[in-house]
């Protein structure tokens, strides 16, 4: 059940990022189709984060230390951009237009997800 809630939280965070950042576009004729797109993209983003993020953190450990963790914003932005590319390959109407939009979107996704997990009482420790 917590995985379903996690996907819904990620979808909501992606929706907020698409609403706030002009470079993130979620197209669709109805709200239901946009919500469906956000749920699928949240699943894609979750799989990417689960598979690639630990590898990137291990390989780039020195960069995380040298930048005091600020490189994590760039990494998250690149992972969001990769999710946008994969969504495009799957013909989903979700697109991140560039690197700056991806980094801004990743920052918003992180903050909104954190707040929603605080509100919902996330029990992952």
pLDDT per position as a tens digit, 49-72: 999 989 998 998 898 899 988 899
Confidence of residue 125 (pLDDT cuts 50, 70, 90): low
Q: Which helix (H) or strand (E) holds 101?
A: helix 99-120
Residue whose structure tokens are 């919902």: 120
Give the up-direction half-sphere exposure of residue 31: CA atoms within 13 A in the CB hemisphere: 2
The reply to whether 75 falls in a domain is yes
The reply to whether 50 falls in a domain is yes
What pLDDT, on the 0 to 100 scale, is given for residue 124?
57
**Domain boundaries, position 48:** 2-120
How many structural domains is the chain composed of? 1
pTM over 0.75, yes/no: yes
Confidence of residue 16 (pLDDT cuts 50, 70, 90): very high
What pLDDT, on the 0 to 100 scale, is given for residue 29?
87
The reply to whether 125 falls in a domain is no
Confidence of residue 122 (pLDDT cuts 50, 70, 90): low
What pLDDT, on the 0 to 100 scale, is given for residue 22?
94
């Amino acid at each position: 059940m917590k995985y379903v809630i996690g996907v819904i939280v990620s979808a909501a965070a992606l929706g907020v990022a698409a609403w706030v950042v002009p470079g993130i576009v979620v197209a669709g004729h109805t709200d239901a189709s946009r919500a469906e797109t956000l749920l699928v993209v949240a699943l894609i983003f979750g799989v990417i984060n689960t598979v690639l993020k630990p590898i990137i953190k291990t390989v780039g450990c020195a960069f995380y230390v040298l930048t005091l963790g600020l490189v994590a914003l760039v990494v998250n932005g690149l992972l969001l951009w990769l999710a946008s590319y994969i969504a495009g390959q799957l013909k989903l109407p979700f697109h991140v237009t560039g690197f700056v939009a991806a980094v801004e979107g990743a920052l918003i996704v992180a903050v909104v997800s954190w707040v929603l997990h605080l509100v919902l009482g996330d029990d992952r420790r």
